Structure 1
Amino acid sequence: MNNVHTFSAETEETLWQQVAADIRQEEGLLAYNAELIQNGYHMQLDVDIDLGGGFEGGYESTTLTAQVPNHTPLRFALHEQDWVHEIGKLLGLTDVELGDPELDAAFIITTNDADALRRLLLTDPAVRQTLLRYQELRLTLAPASHDADAEANLTFFKETALVEPEQLREVYHLLYTLLRQLSPSATL
């Protein structure tokens, strides 16, 4: 079982100084789990690397997840545009366009409110840049369970282990920026 490291700070700079120092102490990083707390917002970071062995192939992934209060009506999913999803569009999968040619070309986008998603993703240029830098991702805002009163989770998932603190901080900043827009007063 992996240790869950907990870091708390009032500023992103201070938080990531702590996280970066901790990650750099890990030798042969195969798994890393942390709870990141900043100004009342809580985010879970999970990096998992399985080298496989024998006839088994390995895998790796990076996940950041944060709870958003259930009063947030927006729901969405962004995932990479590839040939499998192009076939899905031919078979009726609905793809929302945000009006940003690069983002629209890079991602399959589904949402219950295109205008709200457009404001969320296009207000801060750093959000757009990070999405384009990590195009092979899945970014979702969806209920954590099927319960009617379930909290929503904002989740970044990538089938690559991001182990460099600078990369992880960039993705953290993306989610933290979105969280502050979705829930301006952190009472989580």
Structure 2
Amino acid sequence: MAKTKINIWEEFANVTGGKFVEREENWLSDKTEIDYNGWKIIFDNYTLCSGKFQQEMTRVIAPMNSIDNFRFEIYRNGLIRSIEKIFGAQDIEIGRPEFDKAFIIKANNEFKIKSLLQNQKIRSLIETQKEVNLEISNQKGVWESELPKKQLELQFYADGEIKDMEHLKSLLNLFKELLDNLYQIKSIENLKAYR
């Protein structure tokens, strides 16, 4: 029987030269894995379940070996985030007024996040995203178990299934820029360098 439905992850793998991986477990989706300079960037969907509530999410994940445990969170500013700020939640300003107004930035190293976000290409790629939930975390796959010491993941997630190829390519470019810059500021190792 011929397939009639286009599989976005198979198509994205073909367009980017990545590897298409079919679903391994019932609750996981198919995925695209892209090797980039010794890192693996993984695109998939995840069904977030809580009681009767179910939400399909798009995830982009890049596992990394941390040198300095540098972590950050960047979210688009909205009503809930504004209320958190009113009640004392601290965020970092990078000295770019439009970016500072549009995003909530948290990090455990203010100098490094400011250095990272001085890169115009990174800021532009973040600004083009309608929904921004971008972070470095010690939680596997955003919502799963805690990772072993010195292992972190660069993560992006958004509500729903992202099916627009240009949007997915933009996220891939963002991850490539972030990984290169995190390596340059000596926050992560490049496994390719050890081969």
Query: Do structure 1's residue 67 and structure 2's residue 63 form an aligned pair?
Result: yes
The answer on 1:107 being equivalent to 2:103 is: yes
Q: Could you tell me how far apart the structure 2 residues matched to 1:35 and 1:132 are?
A: 24
Q: Distance in 1 between matches of 2:148 and 2:93?
A: 28
Cα deviations by residue, 1:76-125 (Å, 9 ceiling, x for unpaired): 001121111111111111011111112111111111112211111222x2
Q: d(CA) in 2 for partners of 1:151 and 1:183?
A: 14
The alpha-carbon deviation at position 179 of structure 1 amounts to 0.7
Q: Tell me what 1:92 maps to.
A: 88
Provide the residue aligned with 1:141 in structure 2: 136
Q: What displacement does 1:134 show? A: 0.8
Tell me the equivalent position of 2:32. Answer: 34
Q: Secondary structure at the match of 1:115?
A: helix
TM-score (norm 1): 0.73
Change (3 A) 1:48 1:152: closer
Please, what is the CA RMSD of the aligned residues? 3.2
What one-letter code is carried by the residue in structure 2 that aligns with 1:169?
A: K
Q: Which residue of 2 aligns with 1:43?
A: 41
Which residue of structure 2 aligns with residue 163 of structure 1? 163
Separation (CA, whole Å) in 2 of partners of 1:177 and 1:150: 21
Matched, 1:117 2:113: yes
Q: Is the 8 A contact 2:41 2:60 kept in 1?
A: yes
Q: How many residues align?
A: 164
Give 1:57 deviation, angstroms: 8.5
Q: Give the unaligned 5+ runs of structure 1.
A: 9-14, 23-30, 51-55
Question: Is the CA contact 1:47–1:163 (under 8 Å) kept in the aligned structure 2?
Answer: no
Shift in alpha-carbon separation, 1:33–1:92, aligned structure 2, 3 A: same
Q: TM-score, normalised by structure 2?
A: 0.71
Is 1:126 aligned to 2:121, yes or no? Answer: yes
How has the CA–CA distance of structure 1 residues 176 and 86 changed in structure 2, closer, same or farther, with 3 Å as cutoff?
same
State the distance in 2 between where 1:187 and 1:110 align. Answer: 27
Amino acid aligned to 1:106: A
